[in-house]
Structure 1
Amino acid sequence: MPAQTERAASPGGAAPSYGEGNVFSCPIDKIVPQRGQPRQHFDSDRLDELAQSLREHGLLEPLVVRRRPGQDDFELIAGERRWRAAQRADLKQVLVVVRDVSAKDAFELALIENIQREDLDPIEFAEAMDRLVKEHGYTQDTLAQRVGKDRSTIANALRLLRLPATVREKVVVGELSEGHARALLGAPDDKQLSDLAEKVVRGRLSVRQTEALVRTAKDGKAPAGKGGAGKDNKPANVRDLESRLTKRLGTKVEVREKDGKGEIIVKYANWDELDRLLDVLL
């Protein structure tokens, strides 16, 4: 660590200058995490790996902090993963750089740092965007400019917050990608959306297969068009069989029956969906 920038922060009142841009070695127990930090999930194994690196080489890049008003400690702005790993490594002092910013600006800096490092999962990003809209009055256009994203990226991210909580959690833990989540948003209702999400995870379906699955679910909810009356006149046991087969196979199934004979028609939207059906049936 450069000697000219290392100054120990006193635990109590009198301390070296904490001015903008000042870099010094700070007691780790004098740093608190930012309330409402955009990033909420940290991989434990990766933290352990980073902690081992910190034991061997120390913290080479300063954490970014701000002085908490009326307190003798600091709030973390950027570098929470390194701060957590430093705690695991049992480091007593860490290098920090002070920024003289408001709580609002601190949140924006934390968000931008995480975006630049691609540290946020899709739900964390969506929640951060939503907070900036609701608490700080940003429009989607302004947000796009601030974080360096297209407006459509912001709009698509905010749509993810319409997912049921159980489905959002699947995105957080990596069981569903953002593409899967966007496709599932087309489901007719939350119940079907959650059921379809389970099928996607169990079947390890691709995004295209998920889109086909959602289209099938929507077709099942849509009013009958030409020829719909014939379907409505089917016996209850035949309609029930169609429903159970559709649910089991994850695609539209039609049962045609006459005089005790008939046929079962299994529909698919593309070759990927046909491959999936063959895996289920064979």
Structure 2
Amino acid sequence: MASAAKKQALGRGLSALLKDPENDIKSVDDKNADQVIGNVVELELDSIEVNPFQPRTVFNDEALKELAGSIRELGIIQPITVRKIGFNTFQLVSGERRFRASKLLGKKTIPAYIRIANDQESLEMALVENIQREDLDPIEIALSYQRLIDDVSLTQEKLSERVGKKRSTITNYLRLLKLHPQLQNAMRDGQLSMGHGRALVNVDIEEDQLGLFEKIKNQQLSVRATEQLVKQYKDKDQKTSKGSSASPELPSYISKHVEAIEDYLETAVQVSSSARGKGKIVIPFHSKEDFKRLKKLLSSGE
């Protein structure tokens, strides 16, 4: 929690810097611009205007109230992104639901990433450098990867090259952002390891993620035990939804090698097997480049 307080204090300090007319940062070449790029700044909500070109114009009131309740309890895990358009004036780039929910709560400020003129290359450098730090928790790393994809328009393939990590590693971090906000906070506070998080992200229903998390805490389950718990949950769910037509459990000679196949291909695969021993492996691809990458890997043994 101390690190969170430190970040918040830093955000307020940068906010004060941005409101100083003598330090009006307009581009990466200006004094103190390096302090803003890549950092979280606490901005006043009244200084932010919505993007008039935002394609989404309808926001579900009930969903906003639920998000507001989550923010009230847990705070904002992923800061919004804004573009500086004038002195202490900003325009929303992403995060309008978080912005609206915060206003609904009557909050005065919100954590934000600030984009400034000609900052594309500097932002990318700052984020890549930030990822190399050793004191980052898994969610901070995941958020940095997501920002490089969203704000710098990098594909996962290009991102893999920039940060020197396997594409599967990046995918595993990004999947953590599908966890319930409470679980993301638990990871940031060190209450939940990345291994536990990787297991829980396979549970689609967030409320069920929370229920399993309680079991993990109460029984102090290891990562391996958590994976088994999730498997039991999914098997039970599958039997409930499909009845007697549920797929048979994979034999051990297959199941123990699935992870090795996924690591080699750097993507998740779907494996099914019949009682007679016949089966199939489904390998998804996400783009033309991804297909070519898989084809090269699968052809390498010829």
Q: TM-score, normalised by structure 1?
A: 0.46
Greater Rg, structure 1 or structure 2?
A: 1
Tell me the TM-score normalised to structure 2 length.
0.43
